[in-house]
Chains A and B, each alone.
Chain A
Amino acid sequence: MRPLTRGLLANSPYLLLVGVLAAVPPFITNQYHLQVLTFIGIYIILAQSLNLLNGYVGLLSIGHAAFYGVGAYASAKLVMDLHLPFLLAMPGAALVAAGVGYLIAKPTLHLSGIYMTLATLGFNIIFFLILQNWMSFTNGPLGIMDIPPPSFFGREIGSRLGYYYLILALVILTMVSLQRLISCRFGRALIAIREDELAAEAMGVHTTRYKIQAFVLAAFFAGLAGSFYAHFVKFVSPDSFYIYESFILLAMLAFGGQGNLAGPLVGAAVLVLIPEAFRFLQEYRMFVYGGVLIVMMLVRRQGLLGGRVYSLRLPFFDDRERKVYARGDKFLPLEEE
C-alpha cells in the first residue's frame, strides 16, 4: 500500500469527523443553533491556544483574553481604518497579537511560577483599562460598531452558514498545526519543560526561548479567534476581554482537561453548550463556570480527559512508530514501503 493511502486510512476517523461537521450544518435550519456552533468554534481555538501554555508548557496564564482582545481590535482597526481586505487583516491581527505576546513574554517569562501568572493577570487588566480609556483609538467603553463582515475577493460572508464554515476551517487549521507542532521537537521540548524545567535545561533545552515561542504562538491563535469574533459579532467592546473571559477559558481547560488536544475541545464545547442548552441557566452562566472550576479541582484535578493522550488513528494502518525507529537509528536502512 502506498504511504499516502496508508496515512489517509489511518486518519480516517478524523476525516470522517470533519466530513460530518462539514456535511451536516446545511441541514440545520435554526440559525441560532448555527450561531452556538460557531461560538463553540471560537472557544475551541481559544482553549486550544491557552492549552499550549497551561497544558503543555505548564505556565499558568490567567490573562489570555487580552490577546483575544488584541486580535479583535486589531482586526477591526485594520479593516476599518487601513481598509485592508479581510484575508490580510485576519493574519495581520493574529500577528499583532503575537507581537504583543512577544513584548509581554520577553520580560516576564524569566519569572517563576506564580509571579509570571500575576504578570499575565496584570497585563490583562491594563489592556482592559487602555481599551476603556483610549477614547480616540478604541472608542472607550462604547466599543467599535459596524465592523464589516469577512469578505473573500469581493464576496462577503453574509449567512450564518458561511461563518460556520469559516470557523470550521480555522478550528481545523489550529488543531492540525498544534498537533504537528507538539509532535515534533518543539512539542517535546515544551513537555520536557513542564515535567521538569531543571532537567530540561540540563538536557540542553533552551527553556526561556521555548517558553517565549509557546507564548507567542498561543497569542497568535488567540488573536486569530479574536479577529473572527470581531467580524462575526460585528461589535467589539472592552467588556468582552476582561479577566472574566480569561477565567471562562480556565474553566474550560479545568473541565475538559489539558495537556492533550481532546480536553480543551470537549471542555469548550460542553461549557458553551451548557448555558445555551438550559435556558434558565443563562442568567447563572458564571455560576456554572465558577462551580466547574471548584468541583473539578476538588474532584478530578486533571479534568475530564486530562492526563493522557487520546488518538483516533486506526492502529492497523498506523506505521508511524516503525518509521520513527528507522529514522532514529542511522545504521538501519530505511524500509521501503
Chain B
Amino acid sequence: MFEQLINGLTQGGVYALLALGFTMIFGTLRMVTFAHGEVYMIGAYMGFEMVRLLYPSLALALVAAMAATALLGLLIELLAFHFLRDAPHVTSLLVTIGISILLVNLAQLIWGPETQSINYALLDKMAYGEISLGGVYISYLQLSVLGVTVLLMVLLFLLINKTKLGMVIRATAQDYEAAYAMGVKVNRIFALAFAIGSMLGGVAGVLVGIYYNLFYPTMGQLYGLKAFSASVVGGLTSLPGAVVAGLMIGVVETFSVEFGASGLRHMVSFIFMILILIFRPGGLFSGKEPIQARGD
C-alpha cells in the first residue's frame, strides 16, 4: 500500500513538474501551448543521447536536457507567440499544435519509431537497490527521481517568491501591461518564463526516461496532455495548485491500477479536468471564476 503511494507520488511528481511548466507559461503569457509534451520528449531523448554517446552520468544528462529544452522553449516562444503577439489566441494555439506534430515526426525520423532503452549499469543498480524507510521500501531510482523533483520545485518556488527576478515575473503575470509601463521588458520575461517552463518539462522527460528506461517519439503525447489537465485542475495560474493536482492525479492513477481498473488509468486526469472545468473552472484553489486567456 505504501509502496503504491510512493509509486504514485513519483509518477505524480513528474506530472507536477510538467504541469508547473504549463502553469509558468500560461501564468505569464496567458496563453496555452500544446507543444509541451513534445518538449518533454525531446528532453528525454537529449538525456538518452548524453548517457549513450558522451558520458554516462545522470547529472550531466539532466543538464544537457535542460539546456536543450530551454533553447527549444525559446524557439517555440519566438515562433508561436513572439511573432503573433497581437493575434487571437487560436492562432498561437494552432502554431503550437503544428510544432508538436513536427517535433514528434522529427524524433521519429532521427531516432526511429521504435522504443529504445539505455544500457547503463548504474541505472540497473539503482532500480534494484532498495532502502527501507520505516518499513517502506523505496528503490534508489525512485528516491532520486523524487529528490530531483522536490529539489526543482523548491528552487522554482524560491526563484518566484524570494528573488527580484521572481517579483518581476509575478508582476508580469499579474498585469503585463502595467509591468511594461513600470519598465519591465515584458518580452524577455515571456521568453524567460517559456524557457523555465520548458526546462522543467525537459527534466521531467529525463526522469521518466530513466525511471522506466523507455524512450519513444510519442512518449510526450499522453504525458503532456495529462500534465496539461493537471495544470487545469490546479487552476492554470497557480504553482502550488499545479503541484497538488499533479501529485493527486499520479496517486489516483496508481491506485486505479491497484484496484483493478487499469483501463481507467489514463482517463483519470481527463475526467478530473472535465469535472473541474464544469464545476469549478477556476481550478482547485482559485475559486469559481476562470482566468481569462489573452485574445480569447
Contacts and interface: CB of A to CB of B under 8 A. Distances in A.
A117 interface: yes
Given A294-B79, A298-B95, 15 more contacts: A113-B292, A114-B293, A115-B277, A117-B93, A118-B229, A119-B277, A122-B270, A122-B273, A126-B267, A129-B263, A134-B263, A287-B101, A291-B98, A294-B98, A294-B102
Given A114-B89, A114-B296, A118-B232, A293 B95 contact: yes
A133 interface: yes
Interface string B132-171: 0000000000000000000000000000000000000000
A111 B290 contact: yes
B296 A113 contact: yes
A157 interface: no
B99 interface: yes
B94 interface: yes
B97 A118 contact: no
A100 to B, nearest CB: 14
A129 B273 CA distance: 15
A291 B263 contact: no
B5 interface: no
A111 B296 CA distance: 12
Interface SS majority for chain A:
helix
Contacts of A60: 90, 93
A176 interface: no
Given A123-B274, A133-B263, A287 B99 contact: no
B274 A119 contact: yes
A247 B101 contact: yes
Interface residues of A, number: 38
Interface string B251-277: 000000000000110110011011001
A142 to B, nearest CB: 15
A184 B69 CA distance: 50
Given A286-B105, A293-B101, A111 B281 contact: yes
A230 interface: no
A297 B84 CA distance: 9
A286 B101 contact: yes
Interface in A101-142: 107-108, 111-115, 117-119, 121-123, 125-126, 129-130, 133-134
B36 to A, nearest CB: 13
A291 B225 contact: no
Interface residues of B, number: 39
A56 interface: no
Closest 9 CB pairs of A and B: A293-B98, A113-B296, A290-B101, A133-B263, A294-B98, A290-B102, A114-B293, A122-B270, A290-B98
B249 interface: no
Contact of A297 (B95, B100, B278): B95
Which of A133, A293, A297 has the most chain B CB atoms closer than 10 A to its own CB?
Answer: A297
B273 A293 contact: no
Contacts of A297: 84, 87, 91-92, 94-95, 98
30 contacts: A60-B90, A60-B93, A62-B93, A107-B278, A112-B290, A112-B292, A113-B292, A114-B89, A114-B293, A118-B229, A118-B277, A122-B270, A125-B225, A125-B270, A126-B270, A126-B271, A129-B266, A250-B94, A250-B97, A251-B98, A287-B102, A287-B105, A290-B98, A290-B101, A291-B102, A293-B94, A293-B95, A293-B98, A298-B84, A301-B91
Contacts of A247: 97, 101
A101 B93 CA distance: 23
Which of B87, B92, B102, B292 has the most chain A CB atoms closer than 10 A to its own CB?
Answer: B102
Contacts of A121: 225
Interface in A227-252: 244, 247, 250-251
B236 to A, nearest CB: 9
B97 A108 contact: no
